[in-house]
Amino acid sequence: MHLLVDVEASMAQRLGAIFCKRLTALNAPNWRRPRLCCKMAAEPSPLIHSISLPNQVAEPVRIVAAPGISSSEFWSAIDSSLFKQWLHNLQTENGVLAFGNMVLKQVLIQGVDMFGKRIGFLKFKADIIDRETGQKVPGIVFARGPAVTILILLESEGETYAVLTEQVRVPTGRILLELPAGMLDDDKGDFVGTAVREVEEETGIKLNVEDMIDLTAFLEPSTGCRVIPSPGGCDEEISIFLFRGSVDKETITQLQGKETGLREHGELIKVRVVPYKKLWRTTADSKVLMAVALFEMATKEGLLPPLAT
């Protein structure tokens, strides 16, 4: 017992001596303590711009860039036809802001995809508030702008055939049968010219502008004479055109399986020709189903000119 106490006392003395030496060293005049410098990186200020809308002049709208959006992308988005058209739509006769019960507070620019020098796709979140309830209405927008699609019907030996394209569609994870279609490449609104160009690019068929019939022109003017396939998340509006012609059986055979598309743009397209009577159940492409509905109703009501022979 005495031995254990003596050992503990001896250890305490030794630890005390070591502590005193270190304390003396710390207090020595020539000792310099290392300084740790930690510089906090300053976070860049978010890009913000304000605009005024005629429908709510006293309540300016904040446009904000989400993290990762560059200054050039931000200003390109604000100046794009996609964004300007969306703002215009809000203020039209049947627009969201037309009746004064809704207010646009802020727009968060979240994504910008460039197609060459122009914006192809624009994603943003709009904070639109119902004045009565104070609640936000769903406001996530994928803007891609207007597009065209063409229903091509070819008569051959008493049978009517529809021309489709078979394409890889990554967003769906599928290879789909569709009507030939495309986005407008500029702000000029040349829907008919775009339709003719897309048909040639995707099927190899050369059409004349004067042979095209705008099926969506038969809709009520209040609709904008275009169809909107996915209004819950996308601004896309589609004009649907019709072309009818007569060809020999050899032409139908040559079209079947023909490989087309702009390969340098990654378009890997095959042409498929199906009997029109089977078209409505051949594909899940909404453009096909909308075109069939418009064509059938226009035919029923006698709105279409006779097929040229």
Where among 143, 159, 188 does a domain terminate? Answer: 143
Nearest one of 303, 295, 279 to 243, comparing CA atoms: 295
Give the CA distances from residue 241 to residues 31, 146, 167, 168, 300, in Å, rounded to whole numbers and listed in that order: 86, 14, 20, 23, 17
Where among 113, 143, 173 does a domain terminate? Answer: 143
- Does the pLDDT of residue 24 top 50, yes or no? no
Question: 197-234 b/e with 16+ CB inside 10 Å = b?
Answer: ebbebbbebebeeeebbbbbeeeeeeebebbeeeeeeb
Nearest one of 94, 156, 102 to 133, comparing CA atoms: 102
Instruction: Give residue 66's pLDDT.
Output: 97
Direct distance between the N- and C-terminal alpha carbons of the chain, in angstroms, rounded to an integer: 123
- Does the pLDDT of residue 74 top 90, yes or no? yes
Q: What is the mean pLDDT of residues 116-143?
A: 95
Question: 121-160 b/e with 16+ CB inside 10 Å = b?
Answer: bbbbbbbbbeeeeeeeeebebebbbbbbbbbbbbebeeee
Phi, psi for 277 (deg, rounded to 5): -65, -20
Q: How far apart are CA 65 and CA 51, in angstroms?
A: 14
Co-location of 86 and 176 in the same domain = no
* Its pTM surpasses 0.75: yes
Where among 80, 113, 143 does a domain terminate? Answer: 143
- Does the pLDDT of residue 4 top 80, yes or no? no
Instruction: Give residue 266's pLDDT.
Output: 53
pLDDT in tens, 266-288: 567 899 999 999 999 999 999 99
Instruction: Give residue 300's pLDDT.
Output: 97
**Percent of the chain surpassing pLDDT 70:** 81
Instruction: Give residue 193's pLDDT.
Output: 84
pLDDT in tens, 78-102: 999 999 999 999 999 999 999 999 9
Residue 292 pLDDT grade (very low, low, confident, very high; cuts 50, 70, 90): very high
In a domain, 91, yes or no: yes
pLDDT in tens, 8-18: 445 445 545 54
Instruction: Give residue 45's pLDDT.
Output: 74
Count of domains in the chain? 2
Domain residues for the domain of 236 are: 147-300
- Does the pLDDT of residue 36 top 80, yes or no? no
Co-location of 206 and 296 in the same domain = yes
Co-location of 257 and 194 in the same domain = yes
DSSP code per residue over 279-291? HTTT---HHHHHH
In a domain, 222, yes or no: yes
- Does the pLDDT of residue 5 top 70, yes or no? no
Instruction: Give residue 309's pLDDT.
Output: 60
More confident residue, 285 or 24: 285
- The first and second tokens of residue 157, run together, are 């030996």
Instruction: Give residue 31's pLDDT.
Output: 39
Co-location of 97 and 78 in the same domain = yes
- Does the pLDDT of residue 248 top 50, yes or no? yes
Instruction: Give residue 201's pLDDT.
Output: 81
Residue 262 pLDDT grade (very low, low, confident, very high; cuts 50, 70, 90): low
Q: What is the dihedral of CA 240, 242, 247, 252, to 10 degrees?
A: 20
Q: Count CB atoms within 10 A of the CB of residue 60.
A: 14
Residue 213 pLDDT grade (very low, low, confident, very high; cuts 50, 70, 90): very high
Q: What is the mean pLDDT of residues 224-239?
A: 95
Co-location of 113 and 207 in the same domain = no
Q: What is the mean pLDDT of residues 208-236?
A: 94
Average pLDDT over the chain reads 85
Instruction: Give residue 39's pLDDT.
Output: 52
In a domain, 29, yes or no: no
- Does the pLDDT of residue 175 top 90, yes or no? yes
Co-location of 165 and 101 in the same domain = no
List of residues 6+ apart from 262 with CB closer than 8 A: 201
pLDDT in tens, 176-208: 999 999 888 766 667 888 888 888 887 888 888
